[in-house]
Amino acid sequence: MISASSFVPTAFATSARHCRGMAAFLAAAFASVQLAHADPQCTPADPREISRVFESWGDAIVSGSVLRVVEFYADDATLVPEKGGAPLRGKQAIRDYYAGLLARHPQPVIVSSEIVPGCSSAVVSGFILYRVTGARKGTRDLLGGRFTTDFAQVNGAWRIVRHSLGGDERKLDQPFASSQL
């Protein structure tokens, strides 16, 4: 049987080790924050600003202007238009892709999203749906799926450097299963 007097020193020793470990962890965390702020190349991403840029990208999609959409991408950006699709690299390839997509008059809806800010970078990910003109006149289809958009500071502006659109095509009568959302 353990008496209260024999238990207290053991609990205290365990608690002290825990506190020392926690103090070391906190010191390392504060040091990394100070290093990030000391690095002149590091611009902490403001989630509100990233959200505004991402919303502006969506507005550009709706506008139908290929040039306006492509302005959001870095010169050497990579775009993966559909799950398992081949990556498109550079603004010309991205411009060609959007010329075809925007001809279908996409109407994007962000179903869910999360912003993870970083040092001169941020990642927006979630689930997106686009209503687009169907193959036959007067019909509409759905594109959608999980997306990931990687932003980076390029010459003082937030640009998309890697983008996976989640453009899996569906007919309107083929909804996405909840497991795909």
First vs last Cα of the chain: how many Å apart? Answer: 54
Check pLDDT > 80 for residue 15: no
Q: What is the pLDDT of residues 112-156, one digit of tens each?
A: 999 999 999 999 999 988 888 877 887 788 888 889 999 999 998
CA angle, corner 102, sides to 173 and 117, nearest 5?
90
Residue with tokens 């040092």: 119
Res 172: pLDDT:
52
Percent of the chain scoring above 90 in pLDDT: 50
Check pLDDT > 90 for residue 51: yes
For the residues 24-53, what does the mean pLDDT come to? Answer: 64
Q: Which residues of 10-45 are buried (b: 16+ CB within 10 A; e: fewer)?
A: eeeeeeeeeeeeeeeeeeeeeeeeeeeeeeeeebeb
Q: What is the pLDDT of residues 83-104, one digit of tens each?
A: 778 999 999 999 999 999 999 9
Res 82: pLDDT:
83
For the residues 16-41, what does the mean pLDDT come to? Answer: 44
Check pLDDT > 70 for residue 175: no
Res 23: pLDDT:
42
Instruction: Quote the pTM value.
Output: 0.71
- Our CA dihedral for 97, 57, 69, 85, rounded to 10 degrees, sits at -10
Overall CATH class of domain 47-180: alpha beta
